């Protein structure tokens, strides 16, 4: 291969991808911008046009036994009594949008507040439209005693099963060994 061919080959392999990167990045920025606009519109609409108000009652926390030493799980609180309030909106597709604030007793039996926005895609698999299943996410912030109540952003999965105004909603907090890996569930009553 001659020097000229090596230069042309190097240009094609290493420089030509740089020419298409701005277009790819612009497309990515457009997708991120569209996602942000959809999210902020949904939060704003749920805040300004609630259809229902909700009472949240924390029900259970469960520390995944495979991810903890037994002496830790033996002393952790798994009955997170507390309370929360929120507001709900159902969109034209039947999906759930909610804004909420909740406080409950954490693993160390200390108060932990959490608040944010939640969204779930809703399925109604039975002929009875009162029964529903949901999968989605929540975005928000929490604060814990063992972290000096510094606000911590959260992005967590949501799942639910509901009938009429009552919903059993849950999430899983991922983590490392002896940290995180917690199933957390609550009841949500719609008024």
Strands 152-163 and 131-142, sheet pairing: antiparallel
Count the Cβ atoms, other than its own, within 10 Å of residue 168: 15
| Two tokens, residue 167 | 């919903």
CA distances from 160 to 104, 124, 136, 189 (A): 19, 12, 9, 13
The catalytic residue positions are: 63, 106-107
Query: What's the N-to-C CA distance of the chain in angstroms?
Result: 77
Residue given tokens 């749920």 in the structure block: 46
Euclidean distance between CA atoms 144 and 151, whole angstroms? 8
């Amino acid at each position: 291969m001659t020097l000229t061919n090596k230069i042309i080959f190097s240009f094609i392999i290493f420089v030509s991808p740089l020419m298409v990167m701005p277009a790819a990045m612009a497309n990515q920025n457009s997708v991120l911008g569209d996602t942000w606009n959809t999210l902020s519109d949904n939060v704003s609409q749920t805040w300004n046009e609630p259809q229902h108000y909700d009472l949240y009652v924390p029900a259970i926390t469960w520390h995944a036994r495979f991810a903890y030493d037994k002496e830790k799980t033996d002393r952790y609180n798994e009955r997170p009594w507390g309370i929360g309030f929120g507001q709900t909106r159902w969109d034209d597709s039947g999906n759930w949008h909610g804004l909420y604030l909740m406080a409950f007793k954490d693993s160390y039996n200390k108060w932990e507040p959490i608040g944010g926005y939640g969204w779930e895609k809703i399925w109604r698999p039975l002929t009875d439209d009162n029964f529903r299943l949901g999968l989605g996410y929540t975005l928000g912030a929490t604060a814990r005693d063992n972290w000096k109540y510094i606000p911590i952003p959260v992005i967590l999965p949501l799942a639910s099963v509901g009938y009429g105004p009552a919903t059993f909603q849950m999430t899983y907090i991922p983590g490392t060994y002896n940290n995180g890996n917690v199933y957390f569930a609550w009841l949500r009553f719609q008024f």
